[in-house]
Structure 1
Amino acid sequence: MDELAALTEEQQQLLLKTRRRVIESIGKNMDLYGITLSIGHLYGNMYFNREPVTLDEMSATMGMSKTSMSTGMRTLYDLKMINKVWGKGSRKDLYEVVPDWHENFTDFFSIKWRKAAEQNVLALTRSLKEIEQLEENPEQSEAFLEVLASDRQKLQEALTYYKWLGRLIDAFESGEIYKLIPKEE
C-alpha cells in the first residue's frame, strides 16, 4: 500500500488520477452486471495493489466500514475475482485480485448463467410435468388440449436452449471457448 511513498506529490496525483478513471470505469461496468458500484470500485482499487491487502487496509483506503468491506470482499471472493492468500507473519486474512480478466469474465458469467439456467430449467420441468398431467385427463376440451400442446412445445424449445446454454457454460469453464475465440497475446 506504501508504493506511492517514493513518488513526488505531483507524481502521486497524476497516477491517482489515471487510476481513478479506470476504477470508476470498472465500477460502472460491474454495475451493469448486477454488482454494486462500490464493490466494482473495491475490485478496481485492489487491481492496482502490488501486494495482498487486509480488510482493514482496504477499508481505510476506500473509507468504507469494515462490515461493508467484508461484504464486498466476500462477494468478490464468491465470484472468484479475488483470492485469500497467506502472508508470513500476518494473522489477518489477506486478499489479492485474480489478475486474469479472461478468467474473471468466465468465472463471473459461468456462476451467474449456471444459477439462472438451473432455476429456469427447474421451473420449465415442473410446468412441463403439470402440462403432461393435464393432457392425460380425458375430460379436457379439444381447445384446452391444443393450448396445452402449444405450451408443451414452447417449454421443450426452452429446455433445448438451456441444454445449449449448459454446453456454452461448460466451454467457458473448461477453456474450450478460447479454441474458438483465442485470447489476445
Structure 2
Amino acid sequence: MDDSDQEPDIDERRERAREEVLDAMERAAEIYGLSRSYGRLYGLLFFAEEPMSLDDLVERSEYAKSTVSTAMNSLQRLHLVHRRSIPGEGKKAFYEAERDFWTVFQEFLRREVRREVDTMIRSLDRAEQHLDGLDDEQAQRDLEKIRQLRRMYDRSQSLIDILTSSSLDRLAGLLERLRRD
C-alpha cells in the first residue's frame, strides 16, 4: 500500500476540521452583513491556544494589517473578541475570542439593544407629551399608535432584563417546562 492509500494523518484531519469551521464562520459573518474576513479572523482566534497579536493574525490570515485592525475593532464592538495586554510585551495589543456565545448574546443585548430600547422609550415619552390632551382626531390616532409602540418596547425591556440576568441552562429548562405544559 503506497502513501496515497493511507488515511490522512492527525494533523491533516485536524486542519480539515478547522478549515470546515473557518469556512462556516466566514459564511456566518457574511449572513450578518460583515466581511467574510471577519469570520475567518474570529475563527483563527477561536482555535488559538493563547491570545494573538495583530502581527500574528496578519501572518496567519495573509490579510493586510489594516484589514485585521479594522476587523478586530468591529469584533470587539460586537463582543466577539477581547483585547488583552500580555506582561512583558509593552503596549502591544493581543486578541482572544469569546467562546461563550451566550455571553456574546447577553452583552449585545445589554449594550446595544438596551441602548436602542432606552432611546426609543425616551423619544416615545416626549412624543406622547406633545400629543397628549390635543383635541384632534389624527393626533389621537397617532397617540394610540405611540402608546402601542411604547407597550411593545416596555415588554422588550422586560425580556432583555430576563435574558441578560439568566443562564442559558436555566432559560432552556424553563422553556422546556413551558413546552411540555
Aligned 8 A contact 1:110 1:172 in 2: no
Pair 1:66-2:65 in alignment: yes
Q: Using the alignment, how far apart are the partners of 2:74 and 2:125 within structure 1?
A: 30
Q: What residue is the counterpart of 1:171 in the other structure?
A: 162
Task: Name the % identity.
Answer: 23
Q: 1:66-124: per-residue Cα shift (whole Å, max 9, x none)?
A: 12211211122222222223323322111111221211222234433223323433443
Deviation at 1:147, TM superposition (A): 2.4
Q: CA RMSD in A?
A: 2.6
* 1:7-22 correspondence to structure 2 within 5 Å: 10-22=9-21
Displacement of 1:161 in angstroms is 1.1
Contact 2:54-2:93 at 8 Å conserved across structures? yes
Conserved? CA contact 2:83–2:94, under 8 Å:
yes
Q: Which of 150, 175, 184 matches 2:141?
A: 150
- The code of the aligned residue for 1:96 comes to E
Shift in CA distance, 126/170, structure 1 to aligned 2, threshold 3 Å? same
TM-score (norm 2): 0.76
Q: Secondary structure at the match of 1:89?
A: coil
How far apart in 1 are the matches of 2:42 and 2:54?
13
Which blocks of at least 5 consecutive residues in structure 2 are unaligned? 1-7, 175-181
Please say if residues 109 and 164 of structure 2, whose CA atoms lie closer than 8 Å, have aligned partners that are also in contact: no
C-alpha distance in structure 2 between counterparts of 1:70 and 1:161, whole Å: 38
Structure 2 letter corresponding to 1:155? I
Q: CA deviation at 1:180?
A: 2.9
Q: Which amino acid aligns with 2:115?
A: K
| Residue correspondences, number | 166
Residue 10 (structure 1) shift: 4.8
Question: Is the 8 Å Cα contact of residues 79 and 111 (structure 1) preserved in structure 2?
Answer: no
Residues 120, 50 of structure 1: alpha-carbon distance in 2 compared, 3 angstrom cutoff: same
Cα distance 1:128–1:37, how it changes in 2: closer, same or farther (>3 A)? farther
Specify every segment of 5 or more residues in structure 1 that has no aligned partner in the other structure, as ranges. Answer: 1-8, 137-144
Q: Distance in 1 between matches of 2:131 and 2:71?
A: 43
- Asked if structure 2 preserves the Cα contact closer than 8 Å seen for 1:39 and 1:72, the reply is yes
1:53: how far off?
0.4
